[in-house]
Chains A and B, each alone.
Chain A
Amino acid sequence: AQSVTQLGSHVSVSEGALVLLRCNYSSSVPPYLFWYVQYPNQGLQLLLKYTSAATLVKGINGFEAEFKKSETSFHLTKPSAHMSDAAEYFCAVRVNAGGTSYGKLTFGQGTILTVHP
């Protein structure tokens, strides 16, 4: 069965500093991996996805993630944090191995990112 683990429930950075949010996955088949962001009182928005093409994936708002099979990781990074990046971030892995269904996702526990002035 697929699973994801997000290391660190809270991450705090200064504005302009590097953002690194960690995600490790477990999957018996080649995974599809996702990062979502949730702003207060809103639903989740897709930041980026990995679907077995390029291992370095660029997303919205300057975020990117690198798929490393040897480390079973899919960490999210942004070179320079902005105050507007403060939110909760979720890593997710697709459960079913075939077809085009993207929806049966297993989510990590979430990481709350705080950005200090």
Chain B
Amino acid sequence: NAGVTQTPKFQVLKTGQSMTLQCAQDMNHNSMYWYRQDPGMGLRLIYYSASEGTTDKGEVPNGYNVSRLNKREFSLRLESAAPSQTSVYFCASSGSSPLHFGNGTRLTVT
């Protein structure tokens, strides 16, 4: 089925380790987004890419970097993970339609 695919589904990191969360969409959408979800706080935008070749900071970008590899793929990198980055991360995409979300990556930093 068409949609947004995120990998991995689960990850446990130690403080200071790095990792990249992968996201790919097959709906030919121009825009892609990374959100984090924390209990009682809804979803907060980390970074977004309005179109291929552009990226911009969202509400909570500190500690993260992103790469829009091509139109399909948008990755999120944690260079030095911290316990405060324990969260569920959602990738989403949109064209002329509202957001389509992936199923999330549950990240725990110990």
Contacts and interface: CB of A to CB of B under 8 A. Distances in A.
A41 B32 CA distance: 21
A100 to B, nearest CB: 5
Contact of B99 (A9, A42, A44, A108): A44
Interface string A84-117: 0000001000000000111111011110000000
A101 B98 contact: no
B90 A101 contact: no
A34 B48 CA distance: 19
B2 to A, nearest CB: 14
A109 B40 contact: yes
Question: What is the interface residue range for chain B against chain A?
Answer: 20 to 34
Contacts of B48: 103-104
B75 interface: no
Interface of B: 4, 31-33, 35, 40-45, 48, 50, 58, 90, 92-99, 101-104
Q: Which 8 A-B pairs have the closest CB atoms?
A: A43-B101, A107-B42, A103-B94, A107-B43, A102-B98, A44-B101, A102-B94, A43-B103
Given A46-B99, A100-B96, A105-B45, 9 more contacts: A43-B102, A43-B103, A44-B90, A90-B42, A100-B95, A102-B97, A103-B31, A103-B93, A110-B42
